[in-house]
Amino acid sequence: MANQALMANAIRALAMDAVQQANSGHPGAPMGMADMAAALWGEHLKHNPANPHWADRDRFVLSNGHASMLIYALLHLTGYDLPIEELKNFRQLHSRTAGHPEVGITAGVETTTGPLGQGVTNAVGFALAEKLLAAEFNRDGHAIVDHHTYVFLGDGCLMEGISHEAVALAGAWKLGKLIALYDDNGISIDGKVAPWFIDDTPKRFEACGWNVIGPVDGHDAAAVSAAVAQAKAGEGSKPTLIVCKTQIGKGSPNRGGTAKAHGEPLGADEIGLTRSALGWEHAPFELPEAVYQDWDAKAKGASAEAAWNEKFAAYAQAFPDLAAAFERRMKGELPAAFDQVVVDAVLAAHTKAETVASRKASQLALETLTVQLPELLGGSADLTGSNLTKTAATPDLRFAADGAVVRTEDGRIGRHINYGVREFGMAAIMNGVALHGGFIPYGGTFLTFSDYSRNAIRMAALMKQRVIHVFTHDSIGLGEDGPTHQSIEHAASLRLIPNLDVWRPGDTTETVVAWACALRNKTQPTALLLSRQNLNYAPKDELADISRGAYVLAEPSRVGLKKKAKAVIIATGSEVQLALKAQELLASRKIAVRVVSMPSTTTFDRQDVKYKKSVLPKGLPRIAVEMGSTGGWWKYGVDAVVGIDTYGESAPAGVLFKHFGFTPENVAATVEAVLAD
């Protein structure tokens, strides 16, 4: 019989020792949640330390990521590839034990947590993905998708506004296999939270459609384990919150229960007192063999995965096509026919040469892509009719009273999510869906509201996740809604996020290519910046180079000049048509210019020097045209920018274009002024 008290004390010892050695970190939360962890990881969590990517493992999320030594201790003790040397190297350069858990760095960490509230929101995404995959792939007698999502969270997570978005959606979606354990210790960095956090948390969760268990004594591992068992037994139409009353820094005689235990080392003297209080008479980072034996999950995990492998083999024999599709999607691979689908879609857009808004061009592309890619899971933050993210192949996602996924008359499950007015929650849930595997999530809102989503977008980029953001109404071109809705700085701001690809296509063909690039990119999220207003199709001879982020759209010969270009106009999105019209005006004055369409600066920046020079020849003056902040364009050696560095106005789009100088005449005049210098 495992000694859960000893197991929990091992976590406390490792947490205080690692933080002390690093002289940095948060010992209190891991010490306070140690018994909760012993209950969940010791009795319930289905996982295999030898294979952290096993498809049907339970997912565990430490939403209060400052308590990182909790998960590092758990991974080390249960047998993951995280030796004691890594714990000794906590928070040091290139260690696998960073200050906050980071996916892709530490085996067994499911998501990067640190910004509070996003971990629990990621967990909602994990649970949603599990539920939808189960509905799509499971068959009678063949439940190949059958796992839980567990999340530890604290007061800080619940104070962040995003938690309200996540909790509400989890209840609406009836995520019965989502179980959250709340570390209710009443302490944050500033001290006791009572003066500023008076929410009745259990009632809040109940009001959002959750089961609530407790409060239970979070230091009674048996009671916590019984609560988890109760939550699992009652799964179905409701997620569950288990309220665990704990003491931060449990075991520390002088700092336990105080803010002093939260974010600083206990100190050598207090650690000595804590060792005595716990009866832990071992040197730092020294653990008795009995502890390792009690915690070891390798044999149990291998057995669980082996049983699942047998189940999947039977499934594959009965349903070979479904099994192949499941394996492909969990690996994140696109169908073998995808390249041809893209080629056909690009050629079709090129041939039709339609004049439509790029948001409509995006929907036209999605009409094809969602048929070919059943893993595309779309949605919108209450702007479906404006973002145009829904297609004929993606019915609305709905749930029955018993929690079951509602099917259409022809048996399909919903693949378009109504997130409500919850941009931040949508973005972080999509991160969880992508991390789980099996789906490629995309979601829409207005570009100006990307500010609400920004930190989750940054987290997707940091975690290298394929998440696609559809941002429409990308400029002052949306017109009468005025400056609150008109994006000025947003394109430039998004381009500053490392590892985020940003596309602002100028017509139907560029939009299809942008979608194809986003879908092929397994290690980067993508932001698609799309227009509300119609865009003329830009005739083009070369299609292959669009995917390189920038290409020569029109040489002087297009407008009847046999001269070499004297300048280059660089344009993105709706401003490409301005550049082409300005080229015509300049040609009438015998001034030859090249027009370069640059739908993705981030993609173009990754190209080799030779290609960049072929597009933007050295020595030619350069003029950039974009309805947004001008600052980001100077790195391309431009001589002038036709842009906007003030907020917009409320008026019809055509009036605004003229008012702010987005006319062919002003672009041409700017080119002439540069050439005259």
Of the candidates 274, 263, 257, which has an alpha carbon nearest to the alpha carbon of residue 185?
Answer: 257
How much is the average pLDDT of 28-49? 98
Top-tier CATH class for 548-676: alpha beta
What tokens appear for 16 in the block?
Answer: 């205080």
- List, as residue ranges, the binding site for Mg(2+): 155, 185, 187
Per-residue pLDDT at 211? 97
Residue ranges of the binding site for thiamine diphosphate: 66, 114-116, 156, 185, 262, 449
Burial class (CB in 10 A: 0-12, 13-18, 19+), 404: middle
| pLDDT tens-digit map of 104-154 | 999 999 999 999 999 999 999 999 999 999 999 999 999 999 999 999 999
- Using left for φ > 0, alpha for ψ between -120 and 50, and beta otherwise, residue 284 falls in beta
4-37 per-position pLDDT tens digit: 999 999 999 999 999 999 999 999 999 999 999 9
DSSP letter at 579?
H
- Confidence at residue 542, expressed as pLDDT on a 0 to 100 scale: 87
Q: Where are the domains of the chain?
A: 4-302, 337-529, 548-676
Judge if 4-302 and 337-529 fold alike in CATH terms. yes
Mean pLDDT of 384-390: 98
pTM: 0.98
Q: Is the dihedral of CA 362, 367, 372, 377 positive or negative?
A: positive
Q: How confident is the model at residue 84 (pLDDT cuts 50, 70, 90)?
A: very high
d(CA 92, CA 71): 17
On the question of pLDDT at 278 being above 90, the answer is yes
The per-residue pLDDT of the chain, averaged, comes to: 97
Reported as a single tens digit per residue, the pLDDT across 226-240 is 999 999 998 678 999
pLDDT above 90: residue 611: yes
CATH architecture observed for domain 337-529? 3-Layer(aba) Sandwich (3.40)
pLDDT in tens, 508-547: 999 999 999 999 999 999 999 999 999 999 999 889 999 9
Name the DSSP letter for residue 28: H
What is the structure's pLDDT at 366? 98
Mean pLDDT of 411-423: 97
> Rounded to 5 degrees, what are φ and ψ at 594?
-100, 140
Q: Is pLDDT above 70 for 1?
A: no
The annotation places the binding site at 26, 66, 114-116, 155-156, 185, 187, 262, 359, 386, 449, 473, 481, 485, 532
Kindly tell me the burial class for residue 48, based on how many C-beta atoms sit within 10 Å of its own C-beta (0-12, 13-18, 19 or more): buried
Which residues form the catalytic set? 423
Is 42 a residue whose pLDDT tops 80?
A: yes
- Quick check: 457 pLDDT over 80? yes
Q: What is the pLDDT of residue 677?
A: 86
Whether 55 shows a pLDDT value over 70: the answer reads yes
Domain 4-302 CATH superfamily: Thiamin diphosphate (ThDP)-binding fold, Pyr/PP domains (3.40.50.970)
